Amino acid sequence: MEEDKMANILILNGSPRKNGSTASLIKAFTAGAKESGNEIREAYIHGMGVKNCLGCDSCMDTHAGCVQKDKGMASIYENLSWSDVIVFASPVYFGYLTAQLKTVIGRMWAWFNLPGNFTSGKKTVLISTARGTDYTMTLDQYSIYSKYMGWEDLGHILGTGKETEAKELGSSIK
């Protein structure tokens, strides 16, 4: 990414609640990112009809993408290619990201297996909310995933009521 070029930011919103705590942090992050001249696209996964990975290995064998052609995931694949930064946004359910976001992450394997995508050099952000304060397993899951992909972690916002911090993190991305 050129120093003066804005970033294309894809927000993968894994919350099943359209107007909950995660949405509030996304809104603040988006405001900051837009103030810095970035372009934002958000995928609200809950209503997109994304199917689970079949585990068929076709994407690994052919490097031609996923055999499933659901429109929701096709849109996410297009936005993954467009983006410089991917924001994983999710409340914590049972210690981890939501099933909606984990389904998309599983299906991203087909995109990674397209030529040139595995080492795409993307950057990532984690936005997560919970009723409690323990984000240990969520952070572990996110950091393992980012490290495996070789993506640069730009930071994370953990907890409700952190809109100021979310806006600041969004503003810091250029």
Mean pLDDT, to the nearest integer, of 62-81? Answer: 94
Please check the confidence at residue 149 and state whether its pLDDT lies above 90. no
- Residue 54's alpha-carbon distances to 7, 103, 118, in angstroms, are 33, 11, 20
What is the strand order of the sheet 85-91 is part of? 39-44, 8-13, 85-91, 123-129, 152-158
**Domain spanning 8-172 has what CATH number?**
3.40.50.360
Q: What is the pLDDT confidence band of residue 67, given thresholds at 50, 70 and 90?
A: very high
Please check the confidence at residue 136 and state whether its pLDDT lies above 60. yes
What is the predicted pLDDT for the residue at 2? 46
Measured distance CA(166)–CA(32) in Å, rounded: 8
φ/ψ (deg, to 5) at 80? -60, -45
This prediction has a pTM of 0.94
Q: Can you tell me whether residue 156 is helix, strand or coil?
A: strand
- What are the residue boundaries of the structural domains of the chain, listed by start? 8-172
- Residue 92's alpha-carbon distances to 126, 137, 144, 148, in angstroms, are 12, 9, 17, 22
Arithmetic mean of pLDDT over the chain: 93
